[in-house]
């Protein structure tokens, strides 16, 4: 069953996830901004029935992905089909049609971090410090910081996935 959705509503509902999806594919912020705009412009100016959030989300992602591919093709940095498939699968399994749920789950998991893991995440993401600076702050070697951050992200990933699975059931 389709509903009528104004372009403004469509953009409001989906722009954040389209942007995040483009970032996942490898765009930086600026490129993600550009391609998000292009995606909506393309979708809006075609005949388009809104058949619910999930379907619209999937359609927008497909368009966004094509935009992304068109952009990177000239730079010869085209992701392989396997990479695209992996990105899509990661998105579908974790984010689906509402990126905010993922972020909420992440919030809960962040609450469980402590010690140096929590500090390192804060220094990197909130304070935007370089690895060397973080190393100084935590009295570690830069390589150690890299490992620590990688391991912490991995723990967070597992935690978020567990939560999403739990919420789904």
Partner 1 sequence: MTDHRQHYADRLVDLALSERVGGETPSDLSERILATMQESAQEPVQPARRAAHTRTSTPARLTCAVSVGLLAAAIAFALWTPPVDPSSLAKTYTREDLPKLVERFNRLIDQQRYEEAALIAERTQQIAPEDVVVKSLNEKAKFALWMDENSERIDSEFARGLLLTENVASNPFDDGAPIVYPDASVWQELTIRRKKFAAVGAADANFDELIDLITSTVKPDTWKDVGGPGAIDSFRGNLSLVVKQRQSLGAPNVVMHNGQSLYKVSNNRLDLRFSQRSFGSNMPQFGGFDANEQAPLLAGAGVQVNRLPTLVEKGFIPGFFDVDNAGDGVPDAQIVEAWAFHDRREAEIPGSAEEYTPIHENAFLPVRGPAAVSTFSVDVDTASYSNVRRMLKSGALPHPDAVRIEEFVNYFSYDYAPPAGDTPFSASMELAGCPWNEKHQLLRVALKGKEIPPQERPAANLVFLLDVSGSMDEYNKLPLLKQAMKLLIGELRKDDRVTIVVYAGEAGLALDTTAGDQTIKLHDAIDALHADGSTNGSAGIQLAYEKAIANFIKGGINRVILATDGDLNVGITADDALVEFIKDKAASNVFLSVLGFGTGNLKDGKLEKLADNGNGNYAYLDNLKEARKVLVEQIGGSLIAIAKDVKLQLEFNPAQVRAYRLIGYENRILAAEDFDDDAKDAGEIGAGHTVTALYELVPVGSKEEIPGIDDAGSEEPPLKYQRTSESSDESDSSPDAGKPGAAKPKAVKLTKAAESGELLTLALRYKRPDGDVSTKLEFTLPAESKAFNKASRDFQFAASVASFAMLLRHSKHAGSASFAAVEEIATAALGDDQEGRRAEFVDLVRVAEGLSKK
Which residues within the stretch 45-74 sit at the binding site for partner 1 (CB under 8 A)? Answer: 45, 67, 70-72, 74
Tell me the closest approach of the beta carbon of residue 1 to partner 1, in angstroms. 25
Tell me the closest approach of the beta carbon of residue 21 to partner 1, in angstroms. 10
Tell me the closest approach of the beta carbon of residue 54 to partner 1, in angstroms. 19
Does residue 166 bind partner 1 (CB under 8 A)?
A: no
Task: Give dist(CA 98, CA 91) in Å, integer.
Answer: 10
Instruction: Please say whether the beta carbons of 156 and 110 come within 8 A.
Output: yes
Query: Which of 51, 62, 69, 151 touches partner 1 (CB under 8 A)?
Result: 151
Does residue 115 bind partner 1 (CB under 8 A)?
A: yes
Does residue 96 bind partner 1 (CB under 8 A)?
A: no
Does residue 144 bind partner 1 (CB under 8 A)?
A: yes
Which of 33, 161, 54, 55 has its CA nearest to residue 108?
Answer: 161
| Identity of the residue, 4 or 77, whose beta carbon is nearer to partner 1 in the bound complex | 77
Phi, psi dihedral angles at 3 (to 5 degrees):
-125, 160
Does residue 121 bind partner 1 (CB under 8 A)?
A: yes
DSSP string, 43-82: HHTS---B--HHHHHHHHHHHHHHHHHHHHHTTT-PPPHH
């Amino acid at each position: 069953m389709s509903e009528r959705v104004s372009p403004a509503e469509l953009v409001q509902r989906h722009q954040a996830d389209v942007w995040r999806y483009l970032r996942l594919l490898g765009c930086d912020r600026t490129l993600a901004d550009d391609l998000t705009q292009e995606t909506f412009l393309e979708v809006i100016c075609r005949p388009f029935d809104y058949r619910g959030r999930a379907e619209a989300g999937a359609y927008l992602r497909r368009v966004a992905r094509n935009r992304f591919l068109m952009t990177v093709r000239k730079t010869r940095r085209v992701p392989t089909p396997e990479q695209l498939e992996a990105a899509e699968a990661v998105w579908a399994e974790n984010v689906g049609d509402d990126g905010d749920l993922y972020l909420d789950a992440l919030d809960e998991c962040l609450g469980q971090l402590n010690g140096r893991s929590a500090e390192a995440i804060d220094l990197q993401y909130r304070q935007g410090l370089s690895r060397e600076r973080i190393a100084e702050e935590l009295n570690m070697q830069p390589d150690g910081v890299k490992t620590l951050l990688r391991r912490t992200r991995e723990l967070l990933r597992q935690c978020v996935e567990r939560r999403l699975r739990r919420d789904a059931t």
